[in-house]
Structure 1
Amino acid sequence: MKKKKKKNSTRTGILEKTRSGSGFVRSEDGDIYIDRSNIGGAMHGDRVRVDLLPPQFWGRNPEGIVDKILERSSREIVGTYHRGKRSDMVIPDDRRNSDNILVRRSASKSARDGDRVVCVITRYPGRKSLAEGRVTEIIARRGEVGGEIRAMIRAAGLKVRFPARCEAEAAMKAKQIITPEDIAARRDLREKTIITIDGADSKDLDDAVSIDRLYNGNYLLGVHIADVSHYVSAGSHLDREAMCRGNSVYLLTQVIPMLPKSLSNGICSLFEGVDRLTLSCEMEIDGNGNIVNHDIYESVINNKARMIYDDVSDILEHHDEALTRRYQQIYSSLLLMEELAEILREKRKRSGSIDFDFDEADITLGEREIPVDISIAPRRTANRMIEEFMLAANRTVAEHFYQFETPFVYRVHEKPDPAKIMELRQFLAGFGIDLRGSADNVHPAELNRILDLVHGKPEENIVSTVLLRSMTKAYYSTECAGHFGLAFHYYCHFTSPIRRYPDLIDHRIIKSFLRGSVPAGVLKKYRRSAEQAAEIASQTERQAQELERDVEKMKKAQYMKDHIGEIHDGIISGVTGFGIYVQLPNTVEGMIRLSDLNDDYYIFEAEKYRLIGERTRRIFALGDRITIEVLNADPDERQIDFGLAERDG
Structure 2
Amino acid sequence: MAEREEIFAFMREVAYKPLTAEEFVEAMELEDTEQIGEFLKLLAEMEKRGDVILTRKKKYGLPEKMGLVVGRLQGHNKGFGFLIPDNAEEQDVYIALEDSNGAMHNDRIMVRLNRKQGKDNRREGEVIRILERANKQVVGSFEQNGNFGFVVPDDQRIYQDIYIPKGEIGGANSGDKVVAEITKWPESRRNPEGKVTMVLGKAGDPGVDILAIIKKYKLPEDFPQEVMEEVNQISFEPAPEAYENRKDLRDVQMVTIDGEDAKDLDDAVNVKVLENGNYSLGVHIADVSYYVEPGSELDNEAYKRGNSVYLVDRVIPMLPSKLSNGICSLNSGEDRMAVSCQMEIDQKGQVVNYEIFPSVIHIDRRMTYTAVKKILVDKDKEVREEYGELVESFEMMEQLALILKQRRINRGAIDFEFPESKVKLDDQGKAAEIIKVERSIAEKIIEEFMLVANETVAEHIYWLDKPGIYRVHEEPDEGKVETLNEFMHNFGYHIKGVGNEIHPKSYQEIVEKVAGRPQERIINTVMLRSMMHARYASTCLGHFGLAAKYYTHFTSPIRRYSDLIVHRVLRESWENKEARGKMPTWFKKMDNFADQTSIRERVAEEAERESVDMKKVEFMERHLGEKFDGIISSVLPFGMFIELDNSVEGLVHVSAMADDYYEFVEELMAFVGQHTNKIYKLGDRVEIQVVKVDKEARQIDFELV
- The TM tier, using the shorter chain, reads 0.7 to 0.9
**1:462 maps to 2:522:** yes
Paired residues for 1:424-463 under 5 Å: 424-433=484-493, 435-438=495-498, 440-463=500-523
Equivalent-residue separation in structure 2 for 1:431 and 1:13 (angstroms): 36
Match of 1:558 in 2: 618
User: TM-score when scaled to structure 2?
Assistant: 0.80
Does the 8 Å CA contact 2:200/2:208 hold for their aligned counterparts?
Answer: yes
Does the 8 Å CA contact 1:11/1:27 hold for their aligned counterparts?
Answer: no
Deviates more, 1:479-488 or 1:294-303: 479-488
Does the 8 Å CA contact 2:309/2:604 hold for their aligned counterparts?
Answer: yes
State the SS of the aligned residue for 1:369: coil
Of 367, 376, 386, the residue aligned with 1:307 is: 367
State the SS of the aligned residue for 1:358: coil
Q: Quick one: structure 1 residues 25 and 316, their matched pair in 2 at CA, closer, same or farther if it must change by over 3 Å? A: closer
Shift, 1:443, TM fit: 2.3
Match of 1:139 in 2: 200
**1:539 maps to 2:599:** yes
Match of 2:247 in 1: 187
State the SS of the aligned residue for 1:376: strand
Q: Quick one: structure 1 residues 119 and 458, their matched pair in 2 at CA, closer, same or farther if it must change by over 3 Å? A: same
Q: Quick one: structure 1 residues 187 and 276, their matched pair in 2 at CA, closer, same or farther if it must change by over 3 Å? A: same
Match of 1:160 in 2: 221
Shift, 1:229, TM fit: 0.3
Paired residues for 1:499-538 under 5 Å: 499-523=559-583, 525-538=585-598
Q: Deviations over 1:109-144 (max 9, x none)?
A: 433443322122345567887655332223345543
Q: Quick one: structure 1 residues 584 and 165, their matched pair in 2 at CA, closer, same or farther if it must change by over 3 Å? A: same
For structure 1, the residue ranges without an aligned partner over 5 or more in a row are: 1-9
Shift, 1:414, TM fit: 1.4
Does the 8 Å CA contact 1:25/1:34 hold for their aligned counterparts?
Answer: no
Counterpart residue type for residue 134 of structure 1? K
Of 146, 160, 163, the residue aligned with 1:99 is: 160
Q: Deviations over 1:186-228 (max 9, x none)?
A: 0011111011011111111010011122222221110000000
Q: Quick one: structure 1 residues 49 and 399, their matched pair in 2 at CA, closer, same or farther if it must change by over 3 Å? A: closer
Equivalent-residue separation in structure 1 for 2:285 and 2:693 (angstroms): 43
Match of 2:351 in 1: 291
Match of 1:282 in 2: 342
Equivalent-residue separation in structure 1 for 2:449 and 2:477 (angstroms): 30
State the SS of the aligned residue for 1:430: helix
Counterpart residue type for residue 411 of structure 2? S
Equivalent-residue separation in structure 1 for 2:405 and 2:621 (angstroms): 41
Does the 8 Å CA contact 1:590/1:641 hold for their aligned counterparts?
Answer: yes
Paired residues for 1:635-646 under 5 Å: 635-643=695-703, 645-646=704-705
**1:110 maps to 2:171:** yes
**1:149 maps to 2:206:** no
Q: Quick one: structure 1 residues 11 and 214, their matched pair in 2 at CA, closer, same or farther if it must change by over 3 Å? A: closer
Does the 8 Å CA contact 1:140/1:150 hold for their aligned counterparts?
Answer: no
Q: Quick one: structure 1 residues 96 and 609, their matched pair in 2 at CA, closer, same or farther if it must change by over 3 Å? A: farther
Deviates more, 1:326-335 or 1:309-318: 326-335
Shift, 1:577, TM fit: 5.3
Q: Deviations over 1:312-332 (max 9, x none)?
A: 111111111222122122222
Equivalent-residue separation in structure 2 for 1:67 and 1:367 (angstroms): 50
Counterpart residue type for residue 371 of structure 1? A
**1:399 maps to 2:459:** yes
Match of 1:196 in 2: 256
Shift, 1:460, TM fit: 2.1
Paired residues for 1:59-458 under 5 Å: 74-83=135-144, 86-103=147-164, 106-123=167-184, 132-173=193-234, 175-433=235-493, 435-438=495-498, 440-458=500-518
Equivalent-residue separation in structure 1 for 2:93 and 2:206 (angstroms): 43
Shift, 1:44, TM fit: 5.8
Deviates more, 1:366-375 or 1:249-258: 366-375
Q: Quick one: structure 1 residues 344 and 264, their matched pair in 2 at CA, closer, same or farther if it must change by over 3 Å? A: same
Does the 8 Å CA contact 2:425/2:431 hold for their aligned counterparts?
Answer: yes
Shift, 1:615, TM fit: 6.0
Q: Quick one: structure 1 residues 282 and 140, their matched pair in 2 at CA, closer, same or farther if it must change by over 3 Å? A: farther
Equivalent-residue separation in structure 1 for 2:262 and 2:105 (angstroms): 38
Equivalent-residue separation in structure 1 for 2:613 and 2:415 (angstroms): 25
For structure 2, the residue ranges without an aligned partner over 5 or more in a row are: 1-67, 86-91
Equivalent-residue separation in structure 1 for 2:449 and 2:351 (angstroms): 12
State the SS of the aligned residue for 1:633: strand
Q: Quick one: structure 1 residues 496 and 130, their matched pair in 2 at CA, closer, same or farther if it must change by over 3 Å? A: closer
Does the 8 Å CA contact 2:151/2:161 hold for their aligned counterparts?
Answer: yes
Counterpart residue type for residue 549 of structure 1? R
Does the 8 Å CA contact 2:633/2:641 hold for their aligned counterparts?
Answer: yes
Does the 8 Å CA contact 1:567/1:627 hold for their aligned counterparts?
Answer: yes
Does the 8 Å CA contact 2:74/2:84 hold for their aligned counterparts?
Answer: no
Counterpart residue type for residue 414 of structure 1? E
Match of 2:8 in 1: none
State the SS of the aligned residue for 2:156: coil
Counterpart residue type for residue 171 of structure 2? S
Shift, 1:450, TM fit: 2.0
Shift, 1:19, TM fit: 5.5
User: TM-score when scaled to structure 1?
Assistant: 0.86
Q: Quick one: structure 1 residues 34 and 593, their matched pair in 2 at CA, closer, same or farther if it must change by over 3 Å? A: farther
Q: Quick one: structure 1 residues 428 and 67, their matched pair in 2 at CA, closer, same or farther if it must change by over 3 Å? A: closer
Shift, 1:444, TM fit: 2.0
State the SS of the aligned residue for 1:172: coil
Shift, 1:269, TM fit: 0.5
Q: Quick one: structure 1 residues 130 and 34, their matched pair in 2 at CA, closer, same or farther if it must change by over 3 Å? A: closer
* Identity %, equivalent residues: 42
Between Structure 1 and Structure 2, how many residues are aligned? 628
Does the 8 Å CA contact 1:12/1:49 hold for their aligned counterparts?
Answer: yes
Q: Quick one: structure 1 residues 275 and 613, their matched pair in 2 at CA, closer, same or farther if it must change by over 3 Å? A: same
Counterpart residue type for residue 186 of structure 1? R
